[in-house]
Structure 1
Amino acid sequence: MSQSPRPWPRLRRGLELDYHILKVRTDVYADPRTQHEYPRVFIDTPEWCNIIAVTPEDQLVLIRQYRFGIQENTLEIPGGLVERGEDPAQAAARELEEETGYVAGRVVPLGSVHPNPALQGNRCHSFLALDCVKRHEGQQDHGEDIAVELWPRAEVPRLILEGKITHSLVVVAFFLERLRAESAR
């Protein structure tokens, strides 16, 4: 059995740059084997949440929005930041309603992942929202421009395999949903 790698001690904390939704800094760490110093970038961001919303007619409530990193519109599930002190399930239900105007009848936790543990310490929590009903047109945050689309739930594998859904955290949410369904059998 191999020995686990030792923790890298942080020698110095770098200057932090605050970009409102995230903070970036470069800390210096020591390699526990050689004691050589290495700078490592750290992105400090709040917890995130995603929610797979399903209507009583087995339609998915998806959103399409512009993503600056790839400079394209993407097809995704609703989601966003978890406010400080907010329960992730409540945040997911809030994001669903704000972005789409749909309200969940029931919210089921699917699991959580570290989005990128090489650079970030936060988690992304995924949920399944059942019996979602449209209550209003939604109240998007400033700087959001979201289009709501309904898709048959059975289309998810095709949408992912054909590259229509490419956001990794959305794909993870659907994978977690499938794992939960398979383990319940």
Structure 2
Amino acid sequence: MSHLEEKTLHTEKVFTGKMISLQVEDVELPNGNVSKREIIKHPGAVAILALTDDDKIVMVEQYRKALEKTIIEIPAGKLEHGEAPETCAKRELEEETGYACKKMEWLISFYTSPGFADEIVHLYIAEGLEKKENAASLDEDEFVNLMEITLEEAQAYLKEQRIYDAKTAYAVQFLQLQKALKK
């Protein structure tokens, strides 16, 4: 046991929804004091940095109710129970964009907000895109505009806060770094 670890004394499940659950835990701190932690449990997600043959980034523009605004993002989605991240990434790419890919490679996984949530995002890069004629469709409550943009456009959208989420910003920065290293 780490000297920084917090020991769970009691867990109360407060809410269970379609995508997340919330629990409140009483924890014993390293100094022996007791505190509360509000924790969101999430099944995990994938995000896909999909690149066309002419080096454009496939993005979706989507309204995000939590933000009360529309933002531009890389395709992403929630893992289904027991689903492998790469399988989910291929499914989400097809559902959100209509594309399948010849090559998909895992880049990195990261926690989105470890101070209060256990959500992990698995980021993949997809290349060799092919538009599918009978592609899987969006979820019934999902509405997106498909976009294909250059890295330069993505960087401008970051400055304009049209791209405003961590997974997409991370993906754009990854591409920018790759481009800089190739010089």
Q: TM-score, structure 2 length as denominator?
A: 0.89
For structure 2, the residue ranges without an aligned partner over 5 or more in a row are none
RMSD of aligned Cα (Å):
2.1
- AA matched with 1:27: E
Question: In structure 2, what is the equivalent of residue 141 of structure 1?
Answer: 139
**1:89 and 2:86 aligned:** yes
In the TM superposition, what whole-angstrom CA distance separates every residue of 1:118-174 from its partner, at most 9, and x where no partner exists? 112231111111121221465000210111111123422222233221111211233
Q: Secondary structure at the match of 2:12?
A: coil
Q: Partners in 2 of 1:175 and 1:90 — Cα distance? A: 25
Q: Partners in 1 of 2:116 and 2:26 — Cα distance? A: 13
Match 1:39 to one of 29, 33, 36? 36
Q: 1:6 to 1:68 in 2, by over 3 A?
A: same
What is the 5 A alignment of 1:165-176?
Answer: 165-176=163-174
Question: In structure 2, what is the equivalent of residue 159 of structure 1?
Answer: 157
Aligned residues of 1:112 and 1:124 also touching (Cα < 8 A): yes
Question: In structure 2, what is the equivalent of residue 77 of structure 1?
Answer: 74
Question: In structure 2, what is the equivalent of residue 9 of structure 1?
Answer: 7
Match 2:56 to one of 55, 59, 77? 59
Deviation at 1:31, TM superposition (A): 1.6
Q: Could you say which structure has the higher strand fraction?
A: 2
Match 2:46 to one of 34, 49, 64? 49
**1:23 and 2:21 aligned:** yes
Aligned length: 181
Question: In structure 2, what is the equivalent of residue 100 of structure 1?
Answer: 97
Question: In structure 1, what is the equivalent of residue 65 of structure 2?
Answer: 68
Deviation at 1:183, TM superposition (A): 7.0
For structure 1, the residue ranges without an aligned partner over 5 or more in a row are none
Aligned residues of 1:63 and 1:147 also touching (Cα < 8 A): yes
Q: Secondary structure at the match of 2:164?
A: coil
Q: Partners in 2 of 1:115 and 1:184 — Cα distance? A: 29
Aligned residues of 1:48 and 1:82 also touching (Cα < 8 A): yes
Q: Partners in 2 of 1:92 and 1:158 — Cα distance? A: 26
After TM superposition, the structure 1 stretch with the greater mean CA deviation from structure 2, 169-178 or 111-120, is 169-178
Q: Partners in 1 of 2:8 and 2:39 — Cα distance? A: 12
Q: Secondary structure at the match of 2:167?
A: helix
Q: Secondary structure at the match of 2:38?
A: strand
Aligned residues of 1:55 and 1:131 also touching (Cα < 8 A): yes
- AA matched with 1:107: M
